Structure 1
Amino acid sequence: MKKQLEGKVAIVTGGSQGIGEAIAKGYAREGARVAILNRSAEKAKRVVDEIVQDGGEAIAVACDIGSVAQIDRAVAETRSRLGDIDILVNNAGSYLMTPLGETEERTVEQMLDVNIKGVFFLCQAVLPDFLRAGEGVIINIGSIFGNTGFPGSAIYCATKGAVSLLTKTLALELRDRNIRVNSIAPGWFETPLNEEYRATNEEFMRRADERFGGKGAWMRPDEITGTAVFLASPGARSIMGTTVFVDRGWSAY
């Protein structure tokens, strides 16, 4: 049976752990050659090694997503080593939880740089590849909190809301070029990004568990892989400008 992403070249940002790691491995299993863009290429090397050991093909490329110059360099390196890019997954994100009165300018700048600026300019950087091929796929990783608020997370929620509107707008702008743009809004996933929060907020964890009838709201990163593979596959060719919630029904509550 032909693999769903056979022969495709995919960039996954922030793929050294968590959701990005799960997507990168899922893409490789489906036949894609994967470039993991990460602030530290050394940290991404573990995931690359595991993909290669499993029979896939992957490379690690150092890139600070908040720097346009580094984005352009990383995309050029990916292109030279793997070929033109077919799929972009904007997964890298910054989450710093601070109340309004305690939020510093550098905190706002960091989240804007990674969660919005980096996403936009990565889309721009791969556009020439998509235009040459006559097709392409962009998947932006948003959040359930791009659709609702969460105390102490105003800037994070605002940036993820912006990702949702960026997705819709780029989908309209690029659909006539056969370039599909969608987003995935993860719910509560067990990742290193929220490890400290899970460890220090037992009451919230208990209430979240009760909200789901004791079955738990928290998911493993690999539970998002199937959605990410499908949206990148030919089977999703008519899905454009939408956000798919992977949250065990949290947003429907």
Structure 2
Amino acid sequence: MDSWVRFSGQSQAKERVIRAAQYACTLIGYTLQKSGASAELILGLKQLESHLSLGRKLFRLGNSVEALESAKRAIHLSDLVLRFCITVSHLNRAMYFACDNILWVGKCGLSPKVDQNKWSERSFRYYLFSLLMNLSRDLYEIKLLMEAATSGKHPSAKLSEENGVVSCGSSFCHPVALQIRLLIHIFQSNPPLLLDLLKNTCDLFIPLDKLGLYKTNPGFVGFCGLTSSILSILTLLHPWLKLKP
């Protein structure tokens, strides 16, 4: 109960819930459309999705400042690769939120002259760059953990090589099979890393689709957005699941 009270008190948490509802509408609307539902029902879901999207933008007002502060903290990380990936990711997030705020002003009618298509494209472009940096950071951390394991610095690293075949305890594994087993062990030992990788991978398909770089369909985008939103909510409910730094 305490975790839920803490969760509901965060504006970020409320934005994540609205995001999950928005992409759930996208997924449901696409599914109903494929099954031949009435046009009126589909239109109602699209309008609800639009209202939820606008509500999310309201909760994200001012997030650019928070992203810039996070970038300032990341500059002091000792690891050069992590410093670069995390700092650049936060800077792109700051630009993404700034573009999003301009879109909100336009969609609310406060400034009808705002070119929504132009700012939407810019927003998704910065979002894409941020996700690419996040995924680079995830892959780098996986690489570090695998290197630590194979060099004997990890509990799972009881390995030896004999004629190109790797020994795994009492059995023998092909090197590729060993890498897969090692990767599974790393994810089991590091749930925050696994969740972050899954979340960023799901989110990646959203800007790729919106920018026309990898077209899928609204159902797939809705599924990816809903999945990543649920994973984000999990990290807010259980902070230990959030990847650090």
Q: Tell me the TM-score normalised to structure 2 length.
A: 0.28
- Which structure's CA Rg is the greater one? 2
The higher relative CO (CA closer than 8 Å, separation ≥ 6) is in 2
Higher strand share: 1
Higher helix share: 2
Q: Tell me the TM-score normalised to structure 1 length.
A: 0.27
